[in-house]
Structures are given as structure tokens and as C-alpha cells.
Amino acid sequence: MAAKNQNQLNGEIRDREIRVIASNGDMLGIMSAREALRIAEDEGLDLVKISPNAIPPVCKIMDYGKFKFEQAKKEKENRKNQKVVELKEVQLSMTIDVGDINVKAKQATKFLEQGNKVKVTIRLRGRQMAHANLGRDVIMNFAEMLKEYAVIEKPLNMEGRNLILILGPAKK
């Protein structure tokens, strides 16, 4: 038995009746698998099951090696056209100064304009845990600074000693 993502071909096709498509795309009709295989071998090509769930299953006479090559080429092209969204991180502190937060905002803006998501974190140390609300204010002010470039994808929450907010690029 062939793998699930792999097509059955030639001798592996054991169905009693199959619908056959010729190598030029013409419909040859419904016939036995043995008869279709004989036609394919006369042309020097393979019989490939392309739609196994149809009733009767659909098979096509084609050059299987060329078919696999074309499929691999299409997959490679699709992967190349995909945009991978990365998660970039910007770390702030509860005692961050105005100049420093502007630098971090500029960096986060650059990430967002490239189409990446930004994870804003503040690590609370020691006694800062008792004043987590001040850290929340710092992060929310930071998000407010970036509101024209970003939307909040995951709201502010506390994970252990960290305050975390995830921003995504704003739709233009």
C-alpha cells in the first residue's frame, strides 16, 4: 500500500473499474485497471490514481517522474512566496526613562513595519512584584505610543514574574 500522500500507480491500482484520462487530457471512459495499464504501457507512460475517493476512482495516463518533479517545483514556489511572521521581543523595565522608552518604541515600530509581531515584556524583580500595577502602566503607555502601527493581539497578562503584551502590525 502506498503512503497516504503518495499516488498509487501501475500495478498498485487494484480497483475493478476506474475512470481513465488519456495523457493529452481526453476522457477514455470507465474500464478495468488491467486494460488501462495496458494502454499506458503501450504509450510508454504510467497509470496514476489521481482521485482515489471518487466513484469510480479517477486515473490518468502520464509520465509519473515528470509529474512528481512538477509537484515538487510548485511546492517549492509556494514555500518561497510565504511570509514568515516572526515574534520579536522588546524588554522594558518599570523604571525606564522617557529617552529609553522612545528608543524602544522606535525599534518596535521598525519590527511592526516589517510585518513582525512584537512581544513587550517587563521582568519584575524583588519588591517590584508588590507594585505590578506600575509595570502595567508602563506597558500600556508603550502600547499607546505605538497605536498607529500596532494592534494588541494578546492582552496584557502576568506570567510568573513577567508582564507580557503581544502587539501585531496594524492593517493599513
Q: Which of 25, 47, 80 is the last residue before a domain boundary?
A: 80
Whether residue 2 lies inside any domain: the answer is: no
Q: What is the pLDDT of residue 5?
A: 56
pTM over 0.75: no
- Gap between the Cα atoms of 88 and 166, Å rounded: 10
Same domain, 136 and 95: yes
The kind and range of the H/E element at 22 are: none
% of the chain beyond a pLDDT of 90 = 38
Same domain, 97 and 52: no
What pLDDT, in 10s, does the model give residues 99-134? 999 999 999 999 999 889 999 999 999 888 898 899
% of the chain beyond a pLDDT of 70 = 96
Average pLDDT over residues 65-92: 87
Cell of 169: 502590525
